[in-house]
Chains A and B, each alone.
Chain A
Amino acid sequence: MKLKLKVILPFLILSVFHGFAVSEIVEGAEIKVGPQETFKTIANALTQAENNTSPNDTILLQKGTFRENVVLISGVTLKGDKGANAVVKGSGTGTVITAADGSSIQNLTVTDGDVGVLIPIDTNVTLNNVIITQQRTFGIQCENANSAIITNNTLHQNGIAISCTNSSGVTIKDNLITNNTNDFILNNSTNPNVGYNLFFGNSLTSYADANIRTQDTNDITDILDQDPLYVDSSAKDFHLKVNSAAIGKNSNGGEIGAFGGNTADLTLFPVLNLRVTNEDTNSISIAWDPNLAHTVKGYKILYDSDVNGPPYSNSVCKITNPSYQITNLSGTVATPPPPSNFSAGIGNQEITLNWTPFSRILSVAEYTVYYRKSSESTNQQITVPGRGNASSTVTNLENFTTYIFQISTVAKPPFFVTVTALSNEPTDTECPNTQPNESQFATEVEGFLTTPASESSLSPEISATPEPAVRFPALDDEGGCFIASLAFGSPLETYLKTLRNFRDQFLLKNSGGRKLTKLYYQVSPSAHQWLEQNQVFKPYFRILLYPMVWIISIWMSGPIIWTLTLGTLMLFFLQKFFIRPKVFLKLGASN
């Protein structure tokens, strides 16, 4: 028995420890970051990752823009969630993401910094399916890095797209390098593995010129000077259009750039500018801007009648054109009440009507305003579309004539519609389900069937009389015709008389004065026009002109007055500022 224990016990102990050891090898935690998540910032998530006992955590960014400069910790993966289109946006200066040893960065967009991603000294970092744009100095910078794997990224409109110095084992493959100040620079970086990159539109082509253009072999895998045909780079949509030179050209036969390779997020971008183009008795027509990504195979229409937002009870697939007419629609509506708090504001030949709208009654399609002169019996009417509208202005009315106004609510069967882009062609049975890589919903639109329409009773009558407005206080316009009269106002201004007298009695009687007057009349129409458009500066012109007018007034009074005035002023200033100090200096010296 004792012998058995001596043999068995160590094994028992070892197995227990082994079990503990096995259970301690825990996969990294996934920490979600986003506006709706517990962690709202990447920095907070990194703090959590640092406190976790598990290594190799993944920070999963949800939909949103994260305005932070990030410093990763060792082993962490920073990644955008599928379909999130997450953006890490710097403050315009500094490094947006500083990688760490063993870290990787995937499936997100990095914008607005000095350096997009910094791979520091003695680190191994993986960077794939990242869009780096609007970096002032470097898109990616590696300095003395051990190993940097930079594959399937898109670097657009940066300073130098990639700069690696003294870095060994750098892999730069399957990247789109477009419209940067310089493509990339490898200084003293040994054993670089570079290929299958597409270069286009870079102002300086240091790498392409030194390493690609000068080679005359057939082994060149990089593509030069061919437009990758982004869907819309200004809107940061770097998907590729059909016929892009980057399709099928990466190292595995797939797509070059951020949406190629095994780890790419292939979720399509949402459709834009969805709008209702026609409403009928049993159909609603819609249209949208086509999604030009080459992977788009068609669209799905989703619609519903009872409430807005998902889920939608109806769907239609196999649509390839960016427009569609939804047919065989029907519905009923209850009679709505008329709007409350109906009131009128008086304007010049117009009346502005206000009311409380029915923003929450989904079947309210529009309001109808009825109005007539108080002396008439026949109403005119205006349709005000949109249940959220709370006012309307009735124009072209006669001033000082009393009008009667009423309003009603019109309800019609509503339908709420959205569209998604698809990268496959599902069957009718598959259509209602979410498809692989299906885009998010477009911004929903609402359409109404034209019948049946149900109109409320009319609101109580209100009366209003349009009138012109009068200024208060009832000041007169003292406007004039040339610059000074524009600044001063009335042509009858005494000051204008002074200036005109000066012109007639002095300026026009000598050649210098005539030239000055001629110049003035050449310049004054433009100055006059400017001052008319910038009336706030009139007072300042007056301030500048007043001293001139006073001096001219004194001059015009006669040479004796002018001499006496000037002489008095000179004596005063001499006495105050020059004679007294000299007297004191003299006294001081004598003391």
Chain B
Amino acid sequence: MLTLSPVSAEEDTRWFLGFKAGYFSPQEDGWDDIYGDGNVEFVGQGGLKISPKWDIGIEGGYFTEKGSSRTPSGGISTLRQKIQLFPLKVFFIFNAIFEKSQLLVPFAGGGYSHVIFLQSLDGQSTISGDRSGFHGRGGLKILLDIIDPVGADAFNIGWGVKNTYFIMEAQYSRADDFGSDSINLGGWSYLGGIVVEF
């Protein structure tokens, strides 16, 4: 792992913000038949760096899919339906960071999930509700400051951003009110994006 040059020395960071997008694949049985395999999910996160190794944060996301509805006998109806999910998560993360300006930072963590849903069907009113559960996450952060030290310095001076990472992350979530509901609004997320620390 490369060490940082004196030009872009890493300082202690307190907060982080990130934006990610990727693919969310719900795990509820039969989802593929109605809506297809999955769709794009957008996620924004922010939080506090308790220490260089430990983060605590909150995250909000958005996911939507449309598909044909079914009849009670299992046939395909001409009526269309749409579901929107707003996953909210509180999480802890452990970053495997052992020296300043570490290029590759594996991380893992998890926490509480709360998914709010809106579901609409042609000709009927939209219904809403929520499900609670948990999630686990893991991935890799790549420090971009090393790739462009001059840009990183400018970002620091102009915006106070000390570190910029490209993040790749996989999450597994389960949102079925901790097993008390038969419907699980969680699934697998595969996300990529940018996280800045300042």
Contacts and interface: CB of A to CB of B under 8 A. Distances in A.
B34 A472 contact: yes
A474 B77 contact: no
Contact of B129 (A348, A352, A476): A476
Contact of B72 (A470, A473, A488): A470
A488 B131 CA distance: 11
B118 A536 contact: yes
A468 B71 contact: yes
B95 interface: no
B116 interface: yes
Contact of B121 (A469, A478, A539): A469
Interface stretch (B79-87, B97-105, B144-152, B162-170): B79-87
Contact of B116 (A471, A479, A542): A542
Contacts, number: 96
B128 interface: yes
B112 to A, nearest CB: 12
B69 A469 contact: yes
B53 interface: no
Contact of A477 (B14, B31, B128): B128
Interface string A531-552: 0000110110011000000000
Contacts of A474: 183
A467 B71 contact: yes
Interface in A322-377: 345-348, 350, 352
Main secondary structure of the interface of B (DSSP, over half): strand
A479 B128 contact: yes
Given A346-B75, A467-B73, A475 B117 contact: yes
B129 A471 contact: no
Interface in B4-39: 14, 28, 30-31, 34-35
Given A474-B183, A543-B60, A479 B77 contact: no
A533 to B, nearest CB: 10
Nearest to B184: A473
A467 B28 CA distance: 24
A467 B88 contact: no
B30 A475 contact: no
A346 B119 contact: no
B116 A476 contact: no
Contacts of B3: none
A543 B31 CA distance: 27
A488 B31 CA distance: 25
Contacts of A352: 78
A543 B46 CA distance: 14
B14 A576 contact: yes
A452 interface: no
B39 to A, nearest CB: 15
A467 B77 contact: yes
Interface string A517-539: 00000000000000000011011
B71 A478 contact: no
Interface in A472-522: 472-479, 488-490
A469 B128 contact: no
Nearest to B115: A539
Interface of A: 345-348, 350, 352, 465, 467-479, 488-490, 535-536, 538-539, 542-543, 576-577
Given A470-B69, A478-B130, 5 more contacts: A348-B79, A469-B69, A469-B70, A543-B88, A577-B14
3 interchain residue pairs of minimum CB distance: A477-B127, A478-B129, A467-B71
19 contacts: A345-B76, A345-B78, A346-B75, A346-B76, A348-B79, A467-B77, A469-B122, A469-B123, A470-B69, A473-B183, A475-B129, A475-B183, A478-B130, A489-B128, A536-B118, A539-B86, A539-B118, A543-B88, A577-B14
